[in-house]
Structure 1
Amino acid sequence: MPAKSKAQQKAAGAALSAKRGETKKSDLQGAARDMYDSMSEQQLKDFAESDRKGKPEHVDD
């Protein structure tokens, strides 16, 4: 499932970095922390690798 916005993609990238041990979990904030706790590494990778072209900065749910 690809990210729906650039902000969601950035949060997934930050969570993926922490999941891989490249950054500290304590450095995560907001959506990135929630994604870290609730998603697998593969799911985060799918979100973070999606194409950014044409995506809005934020999406209202």
Structure 2
Amino acid sequence: MPAKSKAQQEAAGAALAAKRGELKVSELKGASKEMYESMSEKQLEEFAATKRKSLPEHVAK
């Protein structure tokens, strides 16, 4: 499943970096921390790999 916004893609990238040990989990905040706790590494890879060019900055709830 691809990310729906640039913010979501960026949060997934941060959570993925933490899963891989490239970033401290304590440095995560908000959505990236939630993603780290609730998603697998494969799911995070799919979100983080989304091309940003056509994505909006944020998606309205």
RMSD: 0.5
Aligned to 2:43: 43
Greater than 4 Å deviation, 4+ residue runs: none
Tell me how far 1:54 sits from its aligned partner.
1.1
Q: Deviations over 1:4-55 (max 9, x none)?
A: 0000000000000000000100000000000000000000000000111110
Identity %: 67
Aligned to 1:8: 8
Q: Calculate the TM-score normalised by the size of structure 1.
A: 0.98
Extract unaligned runs of 5+ from structure 1: none
